[in-house]
Amino acid sequence: MGISGGSKDGPMSDINVTPLVDVMLVLLVIFMVTAPMMTTGLDVNLPQAKGGTLDESKPPILISISGQSDIYVNDRPSSLNNLGAAVLEEQKAHGETQVLLKADRAVPYGVVVQVMGVLKAAGVEKLGMVTESPPAEG
């Protein structure tokens, strides 16, 4: 017996990795094909939820969007262009308070997203959404 290997009749010490590689490649192909199917969206009817009450120790900055997409900051008319400045002005006047967004249900989703983007650019990190409570069952 030499140091370089076993005798001709001894056990085989080599591992055949070809079947392992074949199985792994098949699994890789299966996951590559099925992964896009798992990320597609489904049509979902979202449930109504009950929310808690807000801490009103400091009055919040309320941004309202009317049904005609008019924007108001604390009941003062504003526009998308000067919304960030108006919110910063309110924060300077009243200190760091909550910023709440109240939009009419007829407002297009894109307008709400634009308002949220302007608020994010103005430095608003936390934005609350004002919703209506669902009707009581009974």
Boundaries of every domain in the chain: 61-129
Which of the following CATH numbers is that of domain 61-129: 3.40.50.300, 3.40.640.10, 1.10.1060.10, 3.30.420.270? 3.30.420.270
Structure confidence at residue 3 (pLDDT): 55
Where is pLDDT greater, at 80 or 131?
A: 80
Residue 23 has pLDDT above 90, yes or no: yes
Could you tell me the pLDDT band of residue 42, with boundaries at 50, 70 and 90? very low
Coil, strand or helix: which one is 89? helix
- DSSP for 18-56 reads HHHHHHHHHHHHHHHHHHHHHHS-----PPP---PPP--
Q: Closest Cα partner for 111 from 61, 70, 82?
A: 70
Structure confidence at residue 41 (pLDDT): 46
| Mean pLDDT, range 101-108, rounded to an integer | 82
Distance of alpha carbon 92 from alpha carbon 94, whole angstroms: 6
Distance of alpha carbon 55 from alpha carbon 35, whole angstroms: 43
